[in-house]
């Protein structure tokens, strides 16, 4: 699906967006990989110029999985393994974290959730192939070539009035826009505290899990707000940082044992004086590990009606096509903390 350069996700300090625009015509510069396997003290081997030539995923309420195939050049045996590889933590997303949306326009992708969805499956293959030339000096293929990729998506739904609505879309050949979305663990657990009304004196308070801070001065420095929050037994040392200018807005970031706790922080500006109706507001701005796959589809061949754990169901097989209005065929956005591959 080409090389992606990670971009900062909004104002997050750590979250990155990896965007893969997998056009079905034209060429993309591929990402190649080297694979090593074995044990350094015994024996190991590797192969280079690894290209992903097939990729797919499945999801249902029960589970989710990824599959694929790799094409690579010849194996090198008896290698010295990379001494200090950088481990990448796995961040699995389970079936219960998926949603499927299908909309009538590219501008509204991700709006209409398919509530009777039972499962979904995406496949893409025929992406790259090896260029083999008659040359006994070449021990492996010399380069890769672009093949004719084939991408498809199918989804199963309850065969009720809503599930059978796709029959009309199949008959008319209308283009639909699908989004598969999975939302995993939180990356940035932050909330923004803003003082409004330009107070000239007084104090405000913050409350977290039933405990309320002592009064915090209307023009307090971020360090003072942080100290007030740390003093709460529901937070404590090492579990929160606060940044921002004196008087706010303040960015409150939960860390440590509260890094994945998305309990809302609340505020009261009853003690603020001066200004015009002074008050305090709190806005949550958590960023999550997220997978988005957007597709321009034409709904095609249905399966025979069947049974899915007692649910009368039908599965729709969809083709993926380049859409001139949208300017894409399908594209994937992955939000995580990786800064490089």
Same domain flag for 279 and 297: no
Q: Look at residues 247, 263, 285 and tell me which one is the last residue of a structural domain.
A: 285
Same domain flag for 127 and 273: no
Alpha carbon of 300 to those of 172, 310, 316: distances in Å? 10, 25, 6
**What is the domain range of residue 233?**
190-285
Same domain flag for 130 and 241: no
200 closest CA partner among 173, 218, 225: 218
Same domain flag for 294 and 325: yes
Q: How many Å apart are CA 216 and CA 199, to the nearest integer? A: 13
User: pTM of this prediction?
Assistant: 0.85
Same domain flag for 156 and 205: no
Q: For residue range 96-109, what is the model confidence (pLDDT) as tens digits?
A: 999 999 999 999 99
Tokens of 48: 């280079």
Residue 195 lies in a domain: yes
Q: Look at residues 242, 268, 285 and tell me which one is the last residue of a structural domain.
A: 285
Q: What is the pLDDT of residue 338?
A: 92
Same domain flag for 130 and 270: no
Same domain flag for 112 and 161: yes
Polymer length of the chain:
341
3-state helix, strand, coil in the chain (%, to 5): 10, 50, 40
Same domain flag for 53 and 166: yes
Same domain flag for 206 and 165: no
pLDDT averages per 10-residue partition of the chain, 341 residues: 89 89 74 91 92 95 94 93 86 92 96 97 93 90 88 96 94 96 92 96 97 97 97 96 95 91 95 96 92 96 92 96 91 93 78
Q: For residue range 203-231, what is the model confidence (pLDDT) as tens digits?
A: 999 999 999 999 999 999 999 999 999 99
Same domain flag for 53 and 150: yes
Query: Pairing between strand 306-308 and 311-320?
Result: antiparallel
Q: What is the pLDDT of residue 26?
A: 67
Distance between terminal CA atoms of the chain?
14
Burial call 78-87: b when 16+ CB within 10 Å, e when fewer: eeeeeeeeee
Residue 74 lies in a domain: no
Which run of H or of E encompasses 150? strand 150-158
Domains identified in the chain, total number: 2
195 closest CA partner among 219, 224, 229: 219
Whether residue 51 contacts residue 144, with contact meaning beta carbons closer than 8 Å, is answered with: yes
Residue 52 lies in a domain: yes
Same domain flag for 137 and 199: no
Q: What is the pLDDT of residue 30?
A: 86
């Amino acid at each position: 699906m080409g090389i992606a350069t990670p971009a900062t996700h909004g104002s997050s300090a750590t979250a990155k967006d990896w965007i893969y625009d997998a056009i079905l015509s034209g060429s993309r510069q591929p990402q190649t990989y080297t694979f090593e396997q074995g044990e350094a003290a015994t024996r190991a081997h590797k192969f280079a110029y690894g290209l992903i030539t097939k990729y797919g995923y499945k999801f249902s309420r029960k589970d989710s999985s990824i599959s694929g195939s790799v094409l690579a050049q010849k194996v090198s045996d008896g290698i010295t393994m990379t001494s200090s590889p950088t481990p990448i933590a796995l961040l699995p997303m389970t079936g219960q974290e998926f949603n499927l949306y299908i909309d009538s326009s590219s501008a509204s992708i991700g709006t209409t959730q398919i509530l009777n969805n039972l499962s979904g499956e995406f496949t893409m293959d025929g992406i790259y192939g090896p260029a083999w030339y008659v040359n006994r000096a070449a021990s492996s293929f010399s380069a890769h070539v672009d093949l004719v990729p084939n991408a498809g998506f199918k989804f199963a739904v309850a065969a009720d009035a809503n599930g059978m609505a796709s029959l009309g879309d199949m008959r008319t050949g209308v283009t639909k826009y699908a989004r598969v979305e999975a939302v995993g663990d939180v990356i940035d657990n932050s909330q923004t505290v803003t003082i409004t009304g330009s107070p000239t004196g007084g104090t405000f308070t913050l409350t977290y899990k039933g405990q309320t801070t002592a009064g915090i001065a209307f023009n307090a420095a971020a360090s003072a707000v942080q100290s007030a929050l740390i003093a709460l037994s529901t937070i404590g040392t090492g579990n929160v940082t606060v940044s921002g200018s004196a008087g706010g807005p303040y960015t409150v970031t939960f860390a440590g044992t509260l890094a994945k706790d998305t309990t809302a922080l609340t505020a009261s500006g009853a003690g603020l004086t001066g200004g015009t109706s002074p008050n305090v507001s709190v806005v949550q701005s958590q960023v999550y590990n997220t997978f988005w796959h957007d597709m321009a589809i034409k709904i095609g061949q249905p399966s025979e009606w069947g049974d899915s754990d007692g649910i009368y169901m039908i599965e729709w097989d969809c083709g993926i096509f380049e859409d001139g209005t949208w300017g894409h065929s399908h594209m994937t956005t992955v939000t995580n903390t990786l800064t490089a591959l």
